[in-house]
Amino acid sequence: MAKTFGKKAQLDTFIVGFLVFLLLTVVVGAFMIFSISLSKIKNSREIIGTGSFGSSNPLLQQVEFSIDGEKQKMLLADALIFLNRNGVDHVNAPKFEGLLKQIVNAEKPCLAFVYSDSAKPSKRLRGALDMDGAPSNYIKVFLQYENGEAVSSSFLEKIILRYSENKMFHSTSITLPSGKGSSNIYVDYYYGPCLEDENA
C-alpha cells in the first residue's frame, strides 16, 4: 500500500512539474513573440524626419564641388573624403575652406571646423599650439557670416579654443580604406549661432 502511495506521489510531482514547465514555456514564448513583433513594428514605422534632416551637421550639407572639371552637387562629407582620400593634408585645406564658406549663412552664422587623423582634434588644439605651429595633419577653420558673406577669422586658434572650452563641439569620424589597413578622419565641429564677443 505504501508502495502504491509513493508511486502516486511521484506521478503527482511529475504532472505538477510538467504543468509548471508548460506554463513557463507558454509565458516565455508569448513574451518573445510580443517583443519581436513590437521591434518589427517599431523598425518599419519610425519616421526620422523630412527635408530638413541632418541640418545641424555641416558634413551633411549640400555643396557645389568640381571633380575632374565637372561641377556637381554633393554632400560636404563626400568632398572632405575626396580631398583627403590619401590622408589628411594641408595642401587641400584652402579648397575645403572654400566649400565650408558655401554653408555659412544668416541662419547658421558661425562654423568652427577642426579635422585630423588623430582623435579629438579640438581637445588637442592647445597641445598643437604649444608646438611651432600645428602639424600638417591638423586642419582648423573658423568662419563667420558678416555682411552677406562668410569671413575667415584672424583670431582662429583663440576662437576655436573658446568653443572647445565651452564644450560646444560635436565629434564624428570616418574610416577610410588605406592600403592593407585603414585610416580615420576625426572631425570636431560647431555649426550654429555665434558666441558673443567673437573678436574679444
Q: Which is nearer to other proteins, 190 or 194 (CB)?
A: 190
Q: Does 62 bind other proteins (CB under 8 A)?
A: yes
Nearest approach in angstroms of CB 22 to other proteins is 30
Nearer CB in complex with other proteins: 176/195:
176
CB of 41 to other proteins, least distance (A): 12
Cα gap 29→19, rounded to integer Å = 15
Q: How far is the CB of 198 from other proteins (least distance, A)?
A: 27
Question: Which is it for strands 110-116 and 70-75: parallel, antiparallel or unpaired?
Answer: unpaired
Say whether residue 78 binds other proteins (CB under 8 A). Answer: yes
Q: Is 13 in the site for other proteins (CB under 8 A)?
A: no
On whether the CB atoms of residues 109 and 144 are closer than 8 A, the answer is yes
156 binds other proteins (CB under 8 A): no
Q: Helices 93-101 and 76-83, interaxial angle, to 10°? A: 170
- Three-class DSSP category at 97: helix
Strand 138-146 versus strand 149-152 pairing type: antiparallel
Q: Which residue number, 38 or 119, has a Cβ lying nearer to other proteins?
A: 119
Cβ atoms 139, 122 nearer than 8 A: no
Backbone torsions φ then ψ of 31, nearest 5 degrees: -65, -45
Least distance to other proteins, CB of residue 85, Å: 6
Minimum Å distance from CB 114 to other proteins? 15
67 touches other proteins by CB under 8 A:
yes
Q: Which residue has the cell 561641377?
A: 71
